[in-house]
Chains A and B, each alone.
Chain A
Amino acid sequence: MRNLTRAVALTAILLAPGAALSAQRELPYTFQGTVRAVKAGALDLIIGVGEAVRVVHMRTQSATAVFGEGASIALGDLQPGDVVRADCRLTQAGLIADKIELKRRAP
């Protein structure tokens, strides 16, 4: 689990701003991080490795499934400080979240 989470974090860093997009395929990525901001159709997550912290921007769609505490919830139910896991695809238009799962509520 620890290695998996770490792999997620490391992968996330690979995707931080400035990373080149793979043009042809929609690559799957998973991030686990802290919600920085929730806007209509968009989610910003704080991820990091040690004291090197970065933000990942992702878009959501109407089909994006959002779960929390065992039930389906709305994207707007998420708030800054929540820890979530997001399964995404890297597309020409950027990261698209397919599934977002609330892991821990903000204090």
Chain B
Amino acid sequence: MNGARGWAAVALLISVAAGCERPLKPGDPLRGLNRAEQDRFARGKVVFDSTFTPGKGLGPLFNATGCGECHEEPAKGGSGDEVEVHATAFKGRVCDPLVEEGGFVIQQHTTPALKQALGIDSEPFPPSATARAMRTSPVVFARGLLDAVPESVILAYADPEDKNHDGIAGRPNRFTDGRVGRFGRKAFVPALDEFNAGAFSAEMGITNPAVRTEETVGGKPIPAGVDPVPEPEINQEELDLTDAFVRLLAPPTPLKLGRDGRRGRELFSDIGCAACHVPTLRTGDSPIAALRNKEFAAYTDLLLHDMGPDLADICLGLAKPSDFRTEPLLDLRDAKHFLHDGRAATLEQAIEGHGGEATGARDRFKGLPAADRAALVAFLKSL
């Protein structure tokens, strides 16, 4: 009897200790990393936070001088106030990412050497573009967990023909080679390491072992002598460390909910937000124990949904202009602007800006009593 009571006391202590775990703040690493992983996270943060110059390979076209320039608030890996420009051409049902005109990311800065050679301050806007999109810098917390969600889980949420008649028709985007996408506002990119490697090129003009050639300048070759640093401009170790930092960033622990917040969480499901912003996802197998078979608060299905004509901008992959990936709801408590282009200054405006498949949930939100709307917003601000 005493033994049983003793074990019960130990179990209680363990559960209390687990419940009292220090909350994870924005920028913290995942729990449960081994020493080597902690070391790579710390060293990767240094690369992520470093500033590139033309002498280190920056440009000659670029949007930022380092990852940390755009992903910095409230901690490295967070969001930023930069807004970049994307452009594509929607030709019938096919999307052209305008590769022969410099690609769909339109860099907004040039190095002094390129400016001297061509007299331009940014990449020329592609003449064949049918649409322009503005893109804010999202937080990159929990990206390793999102990367570890099996493709089968994403596809299980898909209902492209709305067979259950709920008005929601989520469908996966696909990359240029046909793989299911999950990263980026249009869910174009299938894997985190590729997103990171591509971002070095598209955002900073930094060639690397995965992307060994510079982008063209609006489709024209870079003038001779403008970018003398030999390719690749960073090595595999720097690329891998950056990937490790991003991959191991934890989702911040949601704030403890009060009565209003708990009511808001119920309303979030009741009015239909959770149909697309799926509250939790589960990872599959991973070589990193902290990412393996973990359930986490994601608030996304990683699928595309038609968001209506008011939000529509560019196509990308299979995403039509009005299609957007369900945005993971992470660190909303620190967000200063909302939606893919930052047009909403408040969460209320963001919800009211939803259209298309989200029209029903939006209208139900608008029809709630003021106290319930405030409760739902209080819940979102706990994330």
Contact = CB atoms under 8 A, between A and B. Distances in A.
A37 to B, nearest CB: 9
16 contacts: A9-B194, A13-B213, A17-B213, A17-B216, A36-B99, A49-B198, A50-B196, A50-B199, A50-B202, A54-B99, A80-B91, A80-B96, A81-B94, A83-B177, A83-B178, A106-B94
Contact of B213 (A19, A33, A80): A19
B177 A51 contact: no
* Chain A to chain B: the 8 pairs with minimum beta-carbon distance, closest first: A50-B198, A81-B94, A52-B201, A52-B198, A32-B177, A83-B178, A51-B202, A16-B213
Contact of B176 (A6, A18, A48): A48
Interface residues on A, range: 20 to 34
Nearest to A12: B177
Interface in A10-66: 10, 13-14, 16-19, 32-34, 36, 46-55
Contacts of A80: 91, 94, 96
B100 to A, nearest CB: 6
Give the interface SS of chain A, mostly helix, strand, loop or mixed.
mixed
B241 to A, nearest CB: 17
B188 interface: yes
Nearest to B316: A51
A49 B104 contact: no
B182 to A, nearest CB: 12
Interface residues of B, number: 40
Given A80-B91, A80-B94, A53 B176 contact: yes
A73 to B, nearest CB: 18
A104 B216 CA distance: 29
Contacts of A107: 93-94, 318
B179 A2 contact: yes
A82 to B, nearest CB: 9
Nearest to A18: B213
Interface string B203-243: 10000001111111000010000000000000000000000
A5 interface: yes
Contact of B177 (A16, A47, A50, A52): A47
A24 B9 CA distance: 75
A34 B176 contact: yes
Contacts of A2: 179, 191
Interface in A54-99: 54-55, 80-81, 83
A74 to B, nearest CB: 20
Nearest to B94: A81
A100 interface: no
A57 to B, nearest CB: 10
Contacts of A81: 93-95
B174 interface: yes
A9 to B, nearest CB: 6
A35 to B, nearest CB: 9
Given A18-B221, A34-B176, A52 B93 contact: no
B175 interface: yes
